[in-house]
């Protein structure tokens, strides 16, 4: 279906209600048909902002390799006992002797006497 060009046609503006030449009319983002002089572009704050979530997973993860070669053969050993090859040893935040650390935390109460006098 073909439409006329509207060279001599007039159109009513949805904003002001005035008649303008049909060829000078523009449709706004709201769907209103307005004249070029009345056109208002969409405000930047109304535009949808693209929200990107925080990255959580690694893109190319690789597991730790516990295999070693010994005489041409490959062995897989994992020693997770403490202390072991992969044990956590530290003199900083981890106390060496837990029993001694607990002894230092014990409360040593001192009992005294309180005298109350009524007059």
* Number of C-beta neighbours around residue 11 at 10 A: 17
For position 27, what pLDDT does the model report? 95
In the predicted model, what is the mean pLDDT of residues 89-108? 61
pLDDT tier at 109, thresholds 50, 70, 90: confident
User: Is the confidence at residue 70, as pLDDT, over 60?
Assistant: yes
**Lowest-confidence region among 22-31, 52-61, 95-104, 105-114:** 95-104
Please give the torsion angle defined by the CA atoms of residues 14, 17, 21 and 22, in that order, rounded to the nearest 10 degrees: 30
Q: Measuring CA to CA, which residue among 11, 40, 45, 16 is closest to residue 28?
A: 40
pLDDT tier at 84, thresholds 50, 70, 90: very low
Kindly report whether the global pTM for this prediction surpasses the value 0.85.
Answer: no
User: Is the confidence at residue 35, as pLDDT, over 60?
Assistant: yes
With beta carbons less than 8 A apart as the criterion, state whether 66 and 77 touch.
yes
- Structure token digits, residue 105: 């935390």
For position 15, what pLDDT does the model report? 93
pLDDT tier at 85, thresholds 50, 70, 90: very low
């Amino acid at each position: 279906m073909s439409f006329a060009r509207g060279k001599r046609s007039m159109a009513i503006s949805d904003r002001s209600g005035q008649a303008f030449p049909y060829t000078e009319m523009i449709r706004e983002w709201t769907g209103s048909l307005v004249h070029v002089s009345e056109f208002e572009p969409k405000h930047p704050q109304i535009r949808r902002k693209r929200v990107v979530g925080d990255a959580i997973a690694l893109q190319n993860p690789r597991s730790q390799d516990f295999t070693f070669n010994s005489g041409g053969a490959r062995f897989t050993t994992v020693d997770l006992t403490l202390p072991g090859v992969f044990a956590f040893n530290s003199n900083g935040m981890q106390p060496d002797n837990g029993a001694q650390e607990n002894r230092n935390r014990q409360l040593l109460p001192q009992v005294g006497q309180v005298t109350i006098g009524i007059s």
